[in-house]
Structure 1
Amino acid sequence: MASITGSFTSLSCSLMPNQAVNRVSKLGSVSLSISGKSFPSLRVQPARFRVSCAAKPETVDKVCKIVRKQLALPDESEVAGHSKFASLGADSLDTVEIVMGLEEEFGISVEEESAQNIATVQDAADLIEKLIENKGA
């Protein structure tokens, strides 16, 4: 059995066809199978481990472009998945405008509660993919 420590705030993952999370119990252990290969249960200590699957690079790139445009940042400025809106100079109004731009670009609707949890470009990209997936289901 594997033992993993880290910083746990959430468990999220987007899986492709033929991939499945077999079991998540009490967010204390995770068992999964990907493409027919099984992995042993991972025992984690709540509040100490984070599992996250990143959004597609194309989605992150689109979000970066929208953020650059909304904040009037030069093309050569570094905006990447790890970039925090606040570090890029965004205030709360800028963040609202970024979310509105994302909604328009991706044809989605972001709930106010979800929008308040977006702090980085990666957060936005992950939420967009989740909303698009839910919209298609």
Structure 2
Amino acid sequence: MASIARSALSFARPVKATNTNSLSFSPVRKGNAFLRMQPVPMRFAACCAAKKDTVDKVCEIVKKQLALADDTEVSGASKFSELGADSLDTVEIVMGLEEEFKISVEESSAQSIATVEDAAELIDKLVAEK
């Protein structure tokens, strides 16, 4: 079930779109009113994944900073807290990332990093802004 408010769409349950360029609807008749929907840009399908090599480098740095065993699996979805990192460890990880990628992470941005993917996305953004 979809509802329309101004130019936005909201869906009661997840919708899988097959066309990533636009979304269109067939004409609908409700009572005496005839509604025709125009194509709408896909605003809800945006995805901002970090580059794979950035994620891999972040994984290496996290493993090194936390002194994790070589067989410990660290991926983009890995949360620092689940890997045993406390707040000081997280600060040291951010410092290691700043040094490796030659960037500067603001404290407010650093506090929003919870996963390897979060860190990699932030790094990609900061490197692109350089």
Instruction: Work out the CA distance in 1 between the residues paired with 2:112 and 2:47.
Output: 15
Gaps of 5+ in 1: 4-27, 30-37, 45-49
2:76 is equivalent to residue 81 of structure 1: yes
The within-5 A match list for 1:5-16 is none
Equivalent residue number for residue 125 of structure 2: 130
2:93 is equivalent to residue 98 of structure 1: yes
Shift in Å, 1:43: 5.8
| Aligned-partner SS, 1:119 | coil
Which protein has the bigger strand share?
1
Per the alignment, do residues 133 and 88 of structure 1 end up closer, same or farther by CA in structure 2, a change over 3 Å counting? same
| Aligned-partner SS, 2:64 | helix
| Aligned-partner SS, 1:95 | helix
Amino acid at match of 2:88: L
Gaps of 5+ in 2: 3-7, 10-19, 23-40
Larger Rg: 1 or 2? 2
Q: How many pairs align?
A: 99
User: TM-score normalised to the size of structure 2?
Assistant: 0.69
| Aligned-partner SS, 1:69 | helix
| Aligned-partner SS, 2:21 | strand
Shift in Å, 1:54: 1.0
Equivalent residue number for residue 42 of structure 1: 42
Equivalent residue number for residue 55 of structure 1: 50
| Aligned-partner SS, 2:42 | strand
User: TM-score normalised to the size of structure 1?
Assistant: 0.66
Percent of aligned positions that are identical: 67
Shift in Å, 1:52: 2.7
Per the alignment, do residues 79 and 39 of structure 1 end up closer, same or farther by CA in structure 2, a change over 3 Å counting? same
